[in-house]
Amino acid sequence: MKLLQINTTACDGSDVFWSWFLWLLAAFVLGLIIGWLLKQIFGGTSSESGVKQDLTKVEGIGPKIEGLLNKKGIISYRQLSGTSKSFLEDMLVEAGPAFITHRGMTGTWPAQAKLAELGEWDELKKWQDVLKGGV
């Protein structure tokens, strides 16, 4: 019984197996690096992969504003902590006159969300005791 043998020599007699193997290995490593970079840029942690968190624990965010955030794709503390104040203010202006009064409160939301993301609930509670309506 003869084992399967693959001819890896080119027409000129040189061995092409190792050069192809190295190209495939380099492509695989490059793919891993690009995947890692994309994950760092666009997120992809468990808190962003469909697990909705209670954003109303942030002082100044009620159920209606949480609904606005969810419509914009912000469903986790991590996403909220990375959101700019100008984006939050624009979202409230876009939502209409009933929400415009909340514009001044958006300044602390990302920082509060960062504490919630890190699980610093005692520190968050101390800060919220000082805040009035998120300001």
Render pLDDT for 34-83 as a digit per residue (tens, 0 to 9): 999 998 888 654 444 568 999 999 998 999 999 999 999 999 999 999 99
Q: Where are the alpha helices (DSSP H) in the chain?
A: 17-42, 63-71, 77-81, 85-95, 97-100, 109-118, 121-130
As a whole number, the mean pLDDT across the chain is 85
**For residue 15, what are the β-bridge partners?**
9
Tell which wins on pLDDT, 68 or 5.
Answer: 68
CA–CA separation, 70 vs 47, rounded Å?
14
pLDDT of residue 47: 44
In tens, the pLDDT along 9-43 reads: 777 777 778 888 899 999 999 999 999 999 888 86
Provide the pLDDT for residue 43. Answer: 65
Q: Tell me what the mean pLDDT of segment 97-104 comes to.
A: 82
Q: Are 78 and 48 in contact (CB under 8 A)?
A: yes
